[in-house]
Amino acid sequence: MRLLVVEDDPDLNRQLCTAFTDAGYAVDRAFDGEEGHYLGDNEPYDAVVLDLGLPKMDGISVLESWRRSGKTMPVLILTARDRWSDKVQGFDAGADDYVAKPFHLEEVLARMRALVRRASGHATSELTCGPVRLDTRSGRVSVDGNPIRLTSHEYRLLAYLMHHAGRVVSRTELVEHLYDQDFDRDSNTIEVFVGRLRKKLGIEVIQTVRGLGYLLTPPADAR
């Protein structure tokens, strides 16, 4: 899952990006409204963390512009403004959730998990596909109850496929959603990670759909 953090405070921006990266997300960052607006308009993010009090272009204007142009990614607003009227303005502009500063990083992480989960149609933090279980709270993966150790890239790949189980996901889509903008992207690396992931899971849940991409589906004996 790929996130965008738009926050002008350098320390807070760094803390948020570090926390999200440690939680298994690919994260891009912006420090003003214009840069954030451009990235959100041109990159396919799974969710955005957006401060309201931004230089160059305020958060409400950024959000309203995204929504007018048809951008539907979930947006979590962070702001020092905690008046109810500011919250209403944020929601009316198209925000999906709201956290007032100061806040605990764990709360922001939990709210982000909920936004990403709901956006892909999942009701709980535990995603399942046959015997495969992925707990988005702890980042733990198991098969038939046995824990599986994954690298950060393998986890991101599995998490994205689990969130979109039952749908064919192209290599291009995976590249766009698994790596931040500074990563040296190569769609061929996806094939390598899929191969590693299949070997570690030990069961056939990731199907290759020739010419289209990959499909996560329960093994035949689990349907």
| DSSP-H helix ranges across the chain | 10-22, 33-42, 59-68, 84-93, 105-119, 152-163, 171-178, 187-201
Please check whether residues 33 and 80 belong to one and the same domain: yes
Residue 223 confidence (pLDDT) above 60: no
Pick the last residue of a domain from 104, 119, 134. Answer: 119
Domain hosting 136: range is: 126-222
pLDDT tens-digit series, residues 149-206: 999 889 999 999 999 999 999 988 998 888 777 666 565 788 888 999 999 999 989 9
* Beta pairing class for 126-129 and 75-79: unpaired
Using DSSP's 3-state secondary structure scheme, residue 5 falls into strand
pLDDT, residue 7, reads 97
Instruction: Looking at the structure, tell me whether residues 172 and 187 fall in a common domain.
Output: yes
Q: How far apart are CA 130 and CA 139, in angstroms?
A: 18
Q: Are residues 169 and 111 in the same domain?
A: no
Angle between helices 171-178 and 187-201 (to 10 degrees): 90
Distance CA 153, CA 195 (A): 12
- Helices 59-68 and 84-93: crossing angle, nearest 10°? 30
Looking at the fold, whether 22 and 84 belong to one and the same domain comes out as: yes
- Where a domain ends, among 95, 119, 143? 119
Q: Which CATH number covers residue 155?
A: 1.10.10.10
Q: Specify whether 113 is located in the same domain as 133.
A: no
pLDDT in tens, 18-45: 999 999 899 999 999 999 999 999 999 9
pTM: 0.80
- The structural domain count of the chain equals 2
Quick one: tokens of 216? 């996560």
Pair (96, 58) in one structural domain: yes
CATH number for position 81 = 3.40.50.2300
Do 167 and 135 belong to one domain? yes
Task: Answer yes or no: are the C-beta atoms of 215 and 168 closer than 8 Å.
Answer: yes
Same domain for 142 and 201?
yes
pLDDT in tens, 90-149: 889 999 999 988 899 999 999 999 999 888 888 788 999 999 999 988 889 999 999 999
Position 81 scores a pLDDT of: 67
The predicted structure's pLDDT at residue 125: 84
- The answer on 136 and 103 residing in a single domain is no
Q: Are residues 63 and 39 in the same domain?
A: yes
Mean pLDDT for 70-87 is 85
Distance CA 54, CA 34 (A): 9
Residues 212-220 have a mean pLDDT of 88
Return the pLDDT at 179: 79
